[in-house]
Structure 1
Amino acid sequence: MKPKPFKEEFTLEERAKESAAMIASYPDRIPVIVEKFSRSNLPELEKRNNCRYLVPCNMPVGQFILILRSRLHLSPGTALFVFVNNTLPQTVQLMGSVYESYKDEGDGFLYLCYSSEKTFG
């Protein structure tokens, strides 16, 4: 069964409370939600809680993609692209910079979507 999107599973108040608690406990990290693009043929993350990440602000996007690859158990030839607000962040960009530009102003999470295709939409 396909999991519900994080924003549908939890209320805005629940999400905002969770991200605020994460930021308060770990001020050098950012709260990230990772979900599979609906039309992607890549696997889902194994457990529902695996969509939540606390990522160091100074981690490059490329390093985070490597972590996702290992969690998804992808073969070396399988492409993995990560999108934020329908854009492809540069792999050298720091996650903290992406967070500042694209975080959800309502709940404080950064939402990333992954796919095996470069095109989105």
Structure 2
Amino acid sequence: MSKSSFKIEHEFEKRRAEAERIREKYPDRIPVIVEKAERSDIPTIDKKNSHYDPDDHQYILLCLLRAVCDLVLICQLPFLVIYLVPADLTVGQFVYVIRKRIKLSAEKAIFIFVDNVLPPTGAIMSTIYDEKKDEDGFLYVTYSGENTFG
């Protein structure tokens, strides 16, 4: 898999400092970089609709907070979204939110990969983060309509 667009666009020290700042300010959240796989024909996440929805009580799962909004706008990369994910969220719930954000129909498949590996749907995001976070402090997730790496 190619290097993350976010890593290419932003130097390591800036990424590390931003991840540290986010973790200090929001200790119950995990900074996650979400990118669509390069050759996937799955829809792209609509950044405009990637926000906290206070009325969605069952799935108050992900929010693109103002604290990281500038990074998304600065980077101007079409397939990149940064989320702050609740630490107790499961991978399955995370996939649900991505599916919802890209308005993917129920009959279409979606897969997420961390380090080119399909994580178990029941795994807790904080566990995945602890095991797979990058040295810059972000967790990098790629989504695709195909089980590309598995």
Q: TM-score, with normalisation over the residues of structure 2?
A: 0.73
Structure 2 unpaired stretches of 5+: 48-71, 74-79
2: CA distance, partners of 1:73 / 1:22: 28
Q: Equivalences for 1:67-82 in 2 at 5 Å?
A: 67-82=97-112
* Offset at residue 103 of structure 1 (A): 0.2
Residue 38 (structure 2) aligns with: 38
Residue 88 (structure 1) aligns with: 118
Structure 1 unpaired stretches of 5+: none
1:112 to 129, 141, 145: 141
Aligned length: 117
* Offset at residue 46 of structure 1 (A): 2.2
Q: Equivalences for 1:26-65 in 2 at 5 Å?
A: 26-47=26-47, 48=72, 51-65=81-95
Superposed structure 1 runs of 4+ greater than 6 Å apart: none
Q: Deviations over 1:85-121 (max 9, x none)?
A: 110000000000000110001x100000000111328
Residue 18 (structure 1) aligns with: 18
2: CA distance, partners of 1:32 / 1:65: 13
1: CA distance, partners of 2:115 / 2:138: 12
Cα RMSD of the aligned pairs, angstroms, is 1.6
1: CA distance, partners of 2:37 / 2:148: 11
1: CA distance, partners of 2:9 / 2:102: 22
Q: Deviations over 1:11-56 (max 9, x none)?
A: 1112111111110011111110000111111122223466111111
